[in-house]
Chain A
Amino acid sequence: MKAKVYYEDVEIGQDIPHQVKEKLTTKSLVKWAAAVRDFYEIHYDKDFARAAGMPDVIAHGPNKLALLERMLQEWMGEEGRLHKISCTHKASNFPGETLICKGKIVKKYVKEGRNFVECEVSVENQNGLVCVPGTAVVSLPSKK
Protein backbone atom coordinates (compact mmCIF):
# COMPACT_ATOMS: atom_id res chain seq x y z
CA MET A 1 0.00 0.00 0.00
CA LYS A 2 1.19 3.47 -0.80
CA ALA A 3 1.86 5.54 2.31
CA LYS A 4 0.55 9.07 2.66
CA VAL A 5 3.92 10.59 3.53
CA TYR A 6 7.40 9.09 3.18
CA TYR A 7 10.54 10.02 5.11
CA GLU A 8 12.08 11.20 1.85
CA ASP A 9 9.17 13.61 1.31
CA VAL A 10 9.82 15.80 4.34
CA GLU A 11 12.37 18.57 4.51
CA ILE A 12 13.72 20.38 7.54
CA GLY A 13 12.06 23.77 7.88
CA GLN A 14 8.98 22.68 5.96
CA ASP A 15 5.52 23.39 7.39
CA ILE A 16 3.37 20.31 7.85
CA PRO A 17 0.92 20.57 4.93
CA HIS A 18 -2.09 19.77 7.08
CA GLN A 19 -3.89 21.64 9.86
CA VAL A 20 -6.80 20.86 12.14
CA LYS A 21 -9.29 23.59 12.97
CA GLU A 22 -11.91 23.15 15.67
CA LYS A 23 -14.29 25.65 17.20
CA LEU A 24 -14.59 25.37 20.96
CA THR A 25 -18.06 25.31 22.42
CA THR A 26 -19.33 24.57 25.92
CA LYS A 27 -20.68 21.38 24.38
CA SER A 28 -17.26 20.35 23.00
CA LEU A 29 -15.73 20.91 26.46
CA VAL A 30 -18.41 18.78 28.11
CA LYS A 31 -17.96 16.03 25.51
CA TRP A 32 -14.24 15.89 26.34
CA ALA A 33 -14.94 15.95 30.10
CA ALA A 34 -17.27 12.98 29.69
CA ALA A 35 -14.93 11.13 27.30
CA VAL A 36 -12.00 11.14 29.73
CA ARG A 37 -14.09 11.47 32.90
CA ASP A 38 -12.37 14.67 34.00
CA PHE A 39 -15.03 16.48 35.96
CA TYR A 40 -13.02 19.41 37.32
CA GLU A 41 -15.70 22.13 37.48
CA ILE A 42 -13.49 24.82 35.89
CA HIS A 43 -14.33 23.16 32.54
CA TYR A 44 -18.15 23.35 32.67
CA ASP A 45 -19.32 25.48 35.63
CA LYS A 46 -19.06 29.17 34.76
CA ASP A 47 -19.53 30.34 38.37
CA PHE A 48 -16.72 28.04 39.47
CA ALA A 49 -14.46 29.25 36.63
CA ARG A 50 -15.16 32.90 37.49
CA ALA A 51 -14.40 32.31 41.16
CA ALA A 52 -11.06 30.89 39.99
CA GLY A 53 -10.36 34.13 38.12
CA MET A 54 -11.31 32.99 34.61
CA PRO A 55 -13.74 34.94 32.40
CA ASP A 56 -15.47 31.72 31.33
CA VAL A 57 -15.08 27.94 31.46
CA ILE A 58 -11.77 26.79 29.96
CA ALA A 59 -10.86 23.98 27.58
CA HIS A 60 -8.97 20.99 29.01
CA GLY A 61 -5.25 21.00 28.20
CA PRO A 62 -5.19 17.32 27.14
CA ASN A 63 -8.11 18.03 24.77
CA LYS A 64 -5.85 20.47 22.89
CA LEU A 65 -3.02 17.93 22.92
CA ALA A 66 -5.36 15.29 21.48
CA LEU A 67 -6.19 17.67 18.62
CA LEU A 68 -2.47 18.06 17.91
CA GLU A 69 -2.17 14.29 17.74
CA ARG A 70 -5.12 14.13 15.37
CA MET A 71 -3.39 16.65 13.11
CA LEU A 72 -0.15 14.62 13.08
CA GLN A 73 -1.88 11.30 12.46
CA GLU A 74 -4.05 12.73 9.67
CA TRP A 75 -0.95 14.14 8.03
CA MET A 76 1.09 10.93 8.34
CA GLY A 77 -1.65 8.42 7.61
CA GLU A 78 -1.63 4.93 9.08
CA GLU A 79 1.94 4.14 8.06
CA GLY A 80 3.30 6.90 10.26
CA ARG A 81 3.68 6.51 13.98
CA LEU A 82 3.69 8.97 16.86
CA HIS A 83 6.33 8.15 19.49
CA LYS A 84 6.55 11.21 21.71
CA ILE A 85 4.62 14.41 22.16
CA SER A 86 4.96 17.15 24.74
CA CYS A 87 3.46 20.58 25.16
CA THR A 88 3.13 23.52 27.51
CA HIS A 89 -0.28 25.01 28.21
CA LYS A 90 0.57 28.71 28.04
CA ALA A 91 -2.84 30.28 27.55
CA SER A 92 -6.35 29.19 28.42
CA ASN A 93 -8.95 28.84 25.68
CA PHE A 94 -12.64 29.55 25.97
CA PRO A 95 -15.87 28.61 24.16
CA GLY A 96 -16.21 30.72 21.01
CA GLU A 97 -12.52 30.48 20.15
CA THR A 98 -11.27 28.49 17.17
CA LEU A 99 -8.24 26.31 17.71
CA ILE A 100 -5.80 25.78 14.84
CA CYS A 101 -3.27 22.93 15.13
CA LYS A 102 -0.16 23.19 13.00
CA GLY A 103 3.38 21.91 12.78
CA LYS A 104 6.80 22.24 11.23
CA ILE A 105 9.62 19.76 10.53
CA VAL A 106 12.74 20.57 12.57
CA LYS A 107 14.89 17.45 12.40
CA LYS A 108 15.10 14.07 10.64
CA TYR A 109 17.35 11.10 11.35
CA VAL A 110 17.58 7.34 11.00
CA LYS A 111 18.07 5.40 14.23
CA GLU A 112 17.79 1.67 14.87
CA GLY A 113 16.26 1.17 11.45
CA ARG A 114 13.53 3.73 11.97
CA ASN A 115 13.07 7.03 10.15
CA PHE A 116 12.43 9.63 12.79
CA VAL A 117 11.11 13.13 12.20
CA GLU A 118 10.95 15.78 14.91
CA CYS A 119 8.29 18.43 14.63
CA GLU A 120 7.48 21.67 16.37
CA VAL A 121 3.74 21.74 16.90
CA SER A 122 1.36 24.36 18.21
CA VAL A 123 -2.23 25.15 18.93
CA GLU A 124 -3.09 28.74 18.06
CA ASN A 125 -6.35 30.57 18.45
CA GLN A 126 -8.13 32.48 15.69
CA ASN A 127 -6.01 35.59 16.43
CA GLY A 128 -2.72 33.77 15.94
CA LEU A 129 -1.94 33.58 19.66
CA VAL A 130 0.19 30.50 20.36
CA CYS A 131 -1.62 28.90 23.29
CA VAL A 132 0.02 25.47 23.28
CA PRO A 133 3.57 25.15 21.92
CA GLY A 134 5.02 21.67 21.79
CA THR A 135 7.23 19.12 20.11
CA ALA A 136 6.58 15.69 18.65
CA VAL A 137 8.66 12.76 17.41
CA VAL A 138 7.16 10.58 14.71
CA SER A 139 8.49 7.91 12.39
CA LEU A 140 7.63 7.61 8.69
CA PRO A 141 8.03 4.81 6.16
CA SER A 142 10.89 5.00 3.66
CA LYS A 143 10.62 4.64 -0.12
CA LYS A 144 13.76 2.50 -0.07
Chain B
Amino acid sequence: MPEQSLITDQMRAYIGKDIDWGPPFDVEKGAIKNFAEAINDPNPLFTDEKYARSKGHSSVVAPPIFPTYNLPLGAPLMVLKFPFTVATGVHGGDEWELLQDVHAGDTLTPKGKIINLVEREGKKGKMLFVTSEVTFTNQRGEIAAIYRPTEIFIAAPAK
Protein backbone atom coordinates (compact mmCIF):
# COMPACT_ATOMS: atom_id res chain seq x y z
CA MET B 1 0.00 0.00 0.00
CA PRO B 2 1.41 3.42 -0.89
CA GLU B 3 2.19 5.68 2.05
CA GLN B 4 -0.68 7.92 2.88
CA SER B 5 -0.25 11.69 2.97
CA LEU B 6 -0.87 13.44 6.29
CA ILE B 7 -2.90 16.06 4.43
CA THR B 8 -6.34 15.13 3.12
CA ASP B 9 -8.72 17.03 0.84
CA GLN B 10 -10.90 17.79 3.89
CA MET B 11 -7.91 19.51 5.52
CA ARG B 12 -6.84 21.33 2.37
CA ALA B 13 -10.34 22.74 1.97
CA TYR B 14 -9.85 24.64 5.23
CA ILE B 15 -6.90 26.68 3.97
CA GLY B 16 -8.03 30.31 3.86
CA LYS B 17 -11.35 29.71 5.62
CA ASP B 18 -12.10 31.59 8.84
CA ILE B 19 -12.11 29.40 11.93
CA ASP B 20 -12.95 30.19 15.57
CA TRP B 21 -10.12 31.78 17.59
CA GLY B 22 -12.23 32.66 20.58
CA PRO B 23 -14.43 35.63 21.53
CA PRO B 24 -13.39 39.29 21.89
CA PHE B 25 -11.64 39.95 25.19
CA ASP B 26 -10.94 42.94 27.41
CA VAL B 27 -7.32 43.83 28.09
CA GLU B 28 -7.11 44.07 31.87
CA LYS B 29 -4.49 45.77 34.00
CA GLY B 30 -4.04 42.73 36.22
CA ALA B 31 -3.52 40.45 33.23
CA ILE B 32 -0.83 42.81 31.88
CA LYS B 33 0.90 42.80 35.26
CA ASN B 34 0.84 38.98 35.39
CA PHE B 35 2.30 38.81 31.88
CA ALA B 36 5.12 41.24 32.74
CA GLU B 37 5.84 39.30 35.94
CA ALA B 38 6.00 36.00 34.07
CA ILE B 39 8.96 37.30 32.02
CA ASN B 40 10.49 39.30 34.91
CA ASP B 41 10.01 42.49 32.94
CA PRO B 42 10.25 45.53 35.21
CA ASN B 43 9.19 48.05 32.49
CA PRO B 44 7.02 50.61 34.34
CA LEU B 45 4.92 51.17 31.18
CA PHE B 46 3.36 47.76 31.89
CA THR B 47 2.55 48.30 35.56
CA ASP B 48 2.57 51.98 36.53
CA GLU B 49 -0.55 53.75 35.32
CA LYS B 50 0.67 57.23 36.29
CA TYR B 51 3.99 56.71 34.54
CA ALA B 52 2.34 55.35 31.37
CA ARG B 53 -0.03 58.37 31.26
CA SER B 54 2.92 60.74 31.69
CA LYS B 55 4.29 59.20 28.47
CA GLY B 56 1.07 59.91 26.58
CA HIS B 57 -0.59 56.50 26.94
CA SER B 58 -4.26 56.08 27.83
CA SER B 59 -3.37 53.50 30.51
CA VAL B 60 -0.70 50.87 31.12
CA VAL B 61 0.71 49.37 27.92
CA ALA B 62 0.45 45.64 27.15
CA PRO B 63 3.73 43.85 26.26
CA PRO B 64 3.97 43.27 22.48
CA ILE B 65 2.74 39.68 22.30
CA PHE B 66 0.10 40.12 25.01
CA PRO B 67 -2.70 39.38 22.47
CA THR B 68 -1.68 35.71 22.78
CA TYR B 69 -3.65 35.86 26.08
CA ASN B 70 -6.14 32.98 26.21
CA LEU B 71 -5.59 32.24 22.50
CA PRO B 72 -6.60 28.67 21.64
CA LEU B 73 -3.48 27.59 19.73
CA GLY B 74 -5.19 24.24 19.15
CA ALA B 75 -8.00 25.90 17.16
CA PRO B 76 -7.06 24.16 13.87
CA LEU B 77 -7.56 20.81 15.64
CA MET B 78 -11.23 21.66 16.06
CA VAL B 79 -11.78 21.62 12.30
CA LEU B 80 -9.03 19.50 10.70
CA LYS B 81 -9.71 15.77 10.63
CA PHE B 82 -6.27 14.14 10.70
CA PRO B 83 -5.94 10.77 8.93
CA PHE B 84 -3.30 9.82 11.54
CA THR B 85 -2.87 9.57 15.30
CA VAL B 86 -0.94 12.44 16.86
CA ALA B 87 2.04 11.23 18.92
CA THR B 88 3.02 14.74 20.02
CA GLY B 89 2.03 18.30 19.28
CA VAL B 90 4.62 21.05 19.66
CA HIS B 91 4.72 24.75 19.00
CA GLY B 92 6.97 25.25 15.98
CA GLY B 93 7.26 28.96 15.33
CA ASP B 94 5.95 32.44 15.81
CA GLU B 95 5.67 35.49 13.62
CA TRP B 96 4.23 38.80 14.80
CA GLU B 97 3.51 42.11 13.12
CA LEU B 98 2.92 44.74 15.78
CA LEU B 99 0.92 47.61 14.34
CA GLN B 100 -0.62 49.49 17.28
CA ASP B 101 0.05 49.78 21.00
CA VAL B 102 -2.40 47.80 23.11
CA HIS B 103 -3.52 49.35 26.41
CA ALA B 104 -5.50 48.26 29.43
CA GLY B 105 -9.12 49.09 28.67
CA ASP B 106 -8.88 47.99 25.04
CA THR B 107 -11.02 45.19 23.64
CA LEU B 108 -9.36 42.86 21.15
CA THR B 109 -11.18 40.65 18.69
CA PRO B 110 -9.23 37.71 17.28
CA LYS B 111 -10.12 36.53 13.80
CA GLY B 112 -8.17 34.11 11.71
CA LYS B 113 -7.65 31.19 9.41
CA ILE B 114 -5.31 28.37 8.56
CA ILE B 115 -2.91 29.63 5.87
CA ASN B 116 -0.61 26.70 5.19
CA LEU B 117 -0.29 22.94 5.66
CA VAL B 118 3.08 21.29 5.05
CA GLU B 119 4.20 17.70 5.50
CA ARG B 120 7.80 16.84 6.39
CA GLU B 121 9.82 13.84 7.40
CA GLY B 122 11.73 14.36 10.65
CA LYS B 123 13.83 12.39 13.12
CA LYS B 124 10.69 11.47 15.04
CA GLY B 125 8.76 10.46 11.90
CA LYS B 126 6.23 12.20 9.72
CA MET B 127 5.30 15.69 10.76
CA LEU B 128 2.50 18.06 9.83
CA PHE B 129 3.13 21.82 10.04
CA VAL B 130 0.00 23.91 10.44
CA THR B 131 0.44 27.67 10.05
CA SER B 132 -2.38 30.03 10.92
CA GLU B 133 -2.90 33.76 10.73
CA VAL B 134 -4.78 35.59 13.45
CA THR B 135 -5.51 39.33 13.37
CA PHE B 136 -6.37 41.22 16.55
CA THR B 137 -8.63 44.21 15.97
CA ASN B 138 -9.22 46.77 18.72
CA GLN B 139 -12.47 48.57 19.63
CA ARG B 140 -11.62 51.39 17.20
CA GLY B 141 -11.50 48.93 14.31
CA GLU B 142 -7.70 49.16 13.99
CA ILE B 143 -5.64 46.03 13.48
CA ALA B 144 -3.36 46.01 16.54
CA ALA B 145 -1.36 42.89 15.67
CA ILE B 146 -1.12 40.01 13.23
CA TYR B 147 0.10 36.68 14.57
CA ARG B 148 1.20 33.68 12.49
CA PRO B 149 1.82 30.67 14.73
CA THR B 150 2.96 27.29 13.44
CA GLU B 151 2.02 24.10 15.26
CA ILE B 152 3.75 20.81 14.52
CA PHE B 153 1.96 17.49 14.87
CA ILE B 154 4.12 14.38 14.86
CA ALA B 155 2.31 11.30 13.57
CA ALA B 156 2.39 8.09 15.59
CA PRO B 157 3.88 5.23 13.52
CA ALA B 158 1.15 3.41 11.59
CA LYS B 159 0.30 0.01 13.13
Interface residues of A (CB under 8 A from B): 22, 28, 31-32, 34-38, 40, 42, 52-53, 58, 60-63, 65-67, 69-70, 73-74, 78, 82-89, 92
In the assembled complex, which residues on chain B have CB atoms less than 8 Å from the CB atom of A32? 38-39
Q: Is B20 an interface residue (CB 8 A)?
A: no
Chain A residues whose CB sits within 8 angstroms of the CB of B41 once the complex forms: 70
Q: What 9 pairs across the A-B complex have the smallest Cβ distances?
A: A86-B95, A61-B91, A35-B38, A31-B38, A37-B70, A35-B34, A32-B38, A52-B88, A35-B35
Q: Is B18's CB within 8 Å of the partner chain A?
A: no
Interchain Cβ contacts within 8 Å, total number: 99
Between-chain CB contacts (< 8 Å), 9 pairs:
A35-B31, A36-B68, A36-B69, A61-B93, A66-B64, A67-B39, A78-B45, A85-B64, A89-B94
Instruction: Give chain B residues whose Cβ lies under 8 Å from the Cβ of A40.
Output: 73-74
Q: Indicate whether B85 reaches chain A with its CB closer than 8 angstroms.
A: no
In addition to A63-B39, A78-B55, A89-B92, 10 A-B residue pairs with Cβ atoms within 8 Å of each other are A28-B38, A32-B39, A38-B73, A40-B74, A58-B90, A61-B92, A66-B65, A69-B64, A69-B65, A82-B98
Specify which chain A residues have a CB less than 8 angstroms from the CB of B69 in the assembled complex. 35-37
- Closest B residue by C-beta to A29: B38
CB distance from B26 to the nearest CB of A (A): 14
Q: Shortest CB–CB separation between residue A102 and chain B, in angstroms?
A: 16
Question: Is there contact, CB below 8 Å, between A53 and B94?
Answer: no
Tell yes or no: B53 within 8 A of A by CB. no
Q: How far is the CA of A61 from the CA of B97 in the complex (A)?
A: 17
Contacts of B43 in A (CB 8 A): 70, 73-74
User: Contact: B87 with A62, CB < 8 Å?
Assistant: no
Contact of B96 among A63, A78, A84 (CB under 8 A): A84
User: Known: A52-B88, A53-B87, A62-B68. Contact between A87 and B38, CB under 8 A?
Assistant: no
Closest chain A residue to B86, Cβ basis: A52
B124 proximal to A (CB < 8 A): yes
Measured between beta carbons, the chain A residues less than 8 angstroms from B93 are 61, 86-89
Chain A residues with CB below 8 A from B74, complex form: 40
Chain B residues with CB under 8 Å of A82's CB are 64, 98
| Alpha-carbon distance A32/B63, docked complex (angstroms) | 13
Q: Which residues of A contact B94 (CB under 8 A)?
A: 61-62, 65, 85-87, 89
Tell me which residues across on chain B come within 8 A of A70, comparing CB atoms: 39-41, 43, 63
Please indicate the chain B residues that have their CB under 8 angstroms from the CB of A87 in the complex.
93-95
**Contact code string B72-94 (vs A, CB < 8 Å = 1, else 0):** 01100000000000011011111
B37 on the A face (CB < 8 A)? yes
Q: How far is the CA of A37 from the CA of B63 in the complex (A)?
A: 15
